[in-house]
Structure 1
Amino acid sequence: MPSRSVDAATWEAALLRLLEDVFTFARSGPRLHEDWAEDVLAVLERSVADPRGWSALDPETFKEGREAGFRSHPFRAMTAEDLRAGLRPITAGAAVELLSSLAQEWFFEGSPIRSREDREAVLADARTLLGRFGPDAVFWTSSDLARGSDAPDFLARDLEGGHPFTGYMMDLGLIAVSADEVGVFWSFNAN
């Protein structure tokens, strides 16, 4: 995993190349609580800003729900305990593969990451995004593929959701936690 030497321009370029063309939520926030799940909830509720002021992806589609009073839309209202109960830990290598996989569509993907010509570039962008959180970061996912292993091969299989955190038919998330930041990357089956 790269060091924290990622800068804002490198982060934004990797973020847009990797996730701009799919229906995703990608935001970071500061670590303000002993319990990282509280910090993740603050990111989902959009009550904190990126501590570095860097770019985020938050589809306009979600704005309607927030205007109706649901700050965490499209995420369900939950507690830190609810959040932790629906997540499983994964290794840094698995996190890179999962984040790379979020760059593809849920169904009928003509070129899943495992067979794309630009596979290495996609993996490099995922490493760049996760590199922001440093070598000691820990990662969590909602994917059912992580039930039996903390290092599932996310590139060998199609996207598979898990614990539902939204009202969408399927959603899949990755959370990065460092000593001073959290990152939330979430993909939605919105086709």
Structure 2
Amino acid sequence: MFDLYGGGWTFAWVGPRQHEDWRRDVAAVMALKVTDPRRWKSVNYAPEINENRSGTGSPFMPWSPEQLGESLYEIGRRSAAQLLVALKGEFFQAAGIRDFESRKESLFKSSEEILSRFDPDSLFFTNASEAYGNRDADLLNPDTEWSCLSVYTTDCGLVVVSDAEVGVFWAFFED
């Protein structure tokens, strides 16, 4: 996992699934109101900015479940695995990862390890507009826009929803 989340402006947090409407659980994870039910290490490497526009220690703006649903697009597992890798790169592209070709296998192994935590029937969502209407979008080097959910000027991420847990995996950029 630390191949993908060993520093940089990243966030990786999992919380319990407690509501029928999974968006409520995702909002709780983003607000740092829950802990990982398996006690895995959570990562919040999002640096403070001059003005914390969220009003909390969270890198995310306070979102209602309805607002989250409008900003997230469903994707397939392959796209989710690609996105976890791409989030490590500059501007959320694998092409921006130093020595990507020589590290590709290791990075995808880490991506699959993260996704294996969640059951096979899990759902995956992203804020990358390239996924709007295309569950199988190629998200390794997306040429896209993002519905930003954080206090930063640009962000991109993956939400994973299973029957028992929700995960939020995100990267940020401030220009």
The normalised TM-score by structure 1 is: 0.81
- Opposite residue 170 of structure 2, the aligned amino acid is W
- Opposite residue 171 of structure 1, the aligned amino acid is D
Partner of 1:181: 165
Superposed, 1:72-91 pairs within 5 Å as 73-91=58-76
Note the residue ranges of structure 2 that are not aligned, 5 or more in a row: none
RMSD over equivalenced CA pairs, Å = 2.7
Is contact 2:46-2:172 (8 Å) kept?
Answer: no
CA shift for structure 1 position 109: 7.6
Note the residue ranges of structure 1 that are not aligned, 5 or more in a row: 1-13
1:55 to 29, 38, 41: 41
Give the SS at the match of 2:43.
coil
Partner of 1:117: 102
Across the two proteins, how many residue pairs are aligned to each other? 175
Cα distance change of structure 1 residues 62 and 183 upon mapping to structure 2, 3 Å threshold: farther
Give the SS at the match of 2:171.
strand
Cα distance change of structure 1 residues 152 and 114 upon mapping to structure 2, 3 Å threshold: farther
2:32 to 17, 24, 46: 46
Identity of aligned residues (%): 33
Give the SS at the match of 1:47.
coil
Cα distance change of structure 1 residues 111 and 41 upon mapping to structure 2, 3 Å threshold: closer
Give the SS at the match of 1:122.
helix
Give the SS at the match of 1:117.
helix
Is contact 1:28-1:43 (8 Å) kept?
Answer: yes
Partner of 1:100: 85
Partner of 2:14: 28
Per-residue Cα deviation, 1:108-152 (whole angstroms, up to 9, x for no partner): 987548952111111110010011012111100000110241111
1:141 to 110, 126, 134: 126
- Opposite residue 160 of structure 2, the aligned amino acid is A
CA shift for structure 1 position 175: 0.2
Superposed, 1:158-177 pairs within 5 Å as 160-177=144-161
Cα distance change of structure 1 residues 39 and 59 upon mapping to structure 2, 3 Å threshold: same
CA shift for structure 1 position 167: 2.8
CA shift for structure 1 position 103: 1.4
Is contact 2:86-2:92 (8 Å) kept?
Answer: no
Give the SS at the match of 1:54.
coil
Cα distance change of structure 1 residues 92 and 169 upon mapping to structure 2, 3 Å threshold: same
